Chain A
Amino acid sequence: DARVTQTPRHKVTEMGQEVTMRCQPILGHNTVFWYRQTMMQGLELLAYFRNRAPLDDSGMPKDRFSAEMPDATLATLKIQPSEPRDSAVYFCASGFGWIYNEQFFGPGTRLTVL
């Protein structure tokens, strides 16, 4: 049963700490997306990759967030330093082909920054 996996599922940290979230896309998928969801802002697209190359990260705060794909089986989203306003659920999704095609979402990482 192919699915997107995300680790950790829950993370509680203190303001100023570095946070790294990891995503393993479905094997064979070549597009990866990072989303953030909060009650106030709803769902937001932070960044997306195709064939490991970043296509767009205009939704991501550049000063503290960074997204990378070290290899085809791993995508990472880092926040340094973290702030309370970063508290949210972060979803990773993967797909094949172009961004208009079906995306498969992971279960999310719930981040709480105290």
Chain B
Amino acid sequence: EDQVTQSPEALRLQEGESSSLNCSYTVSGLRGLFWYRQDPGKGPEFLFTLYSAGEEKEKERLKATLTKKESFLHITAPKPEDSATYLCAAQNTGNQFYFGTGTSLTVIP
């Protein structure tokens, strides 16, 4: 059964304390692995798409990496404005999308 699991469910970091969020996936043929950021009461904000194992993409303090079983979102020296829920999704070769339940990140000043 295709599915995506994110961990941890919630993460509290001190400002400047780097960490990683995990997205484990099992899909029948990965076409794309997507990361989004969502602030409370707002629509998600697209961050990255990764296509194949070994691929990495960066945006400001965020770096996404991909292996054959999981993706990591590394946050380097986070700031309070990085506080949000981070969602990942995997698309299979049947064009179906599977979303994780998200990691709620809180960065404390």
Assembled-state Cα–Cα distance A103/B97 (Å): 14
- In the complex, are the beta carbons of B46 and A107 less than 8 A apart? no
Tell me the smallest distance from the CB of A46 to a CB of chain B, in Å. Answer: 10
- In the complex, are the beta carbons of B49 and A101 less than 8 A apart? yes
- In the complex, are the beta carbons of B100 and A42 less than 8 A apart? yes
Cβ-defined partner of A43 (8 Å) among B42, B44, B94: B44
- In the complex, are the beta carbons of A105 and B49 less than 8 A apart? no
Q: Which of B87, B89, B91, B97: most chain A Cβ within 10 A?
A: B97
Q: Tell me if A15 counts as interface (CB < 8 A to partner B).
A: no
Assembled-state Cα–Cα distance A103/B37 (Å): 12
Inter-chain contacts of A104 with B (CB < 8 A): 46
Count of inter-chain pairs, beta carbons less than 8 A: 50
Secondary structure of the A contact surface, majority rule: strand
Cβ-defined partner of A105 (8 Å) among B44, B96, B102: B44
Indicate with 1 or 0, residue by residue over A24-60, a CB within 8 angstroms of chain B CB atoms: 0000000000010000001111000000000110110
Tell me the smallest distance from the CB of A21 to a CB of chain B, in Å. Answer: 13
Assembled-state Cα–Cα distance A58/B91 (Å): 13
- In the complex, are the beta carbons of B43 and A93 less than 8 A apart? yes
- In the complex, are the beta carbons of A103 and B96 less than 8 A apart? no
Q: Tell me if A102 counts as interface (CB < 8 A to partner B).
A: yes
Indicate with 1 or 0, residue by residue over B26-70, a CB within 8 angstroms of chain A CB atoms: 000001100010000011111001010000000000000000000
Cβ-defined partner of A100 (8 Å) among B36, B43, B51, B102: B51
- In the complex, are the beta carbons of A56 and B96 less than 8 A apart? yes
Q: Which of B44, B49, B51, B96: most chain A Cβ within 10 A?
A: B44
Inter-chain contacts of B32 with A (CB < 8 A): 99-100
Assembled-state Cα–Cα distance A102/B58 (Å): 14
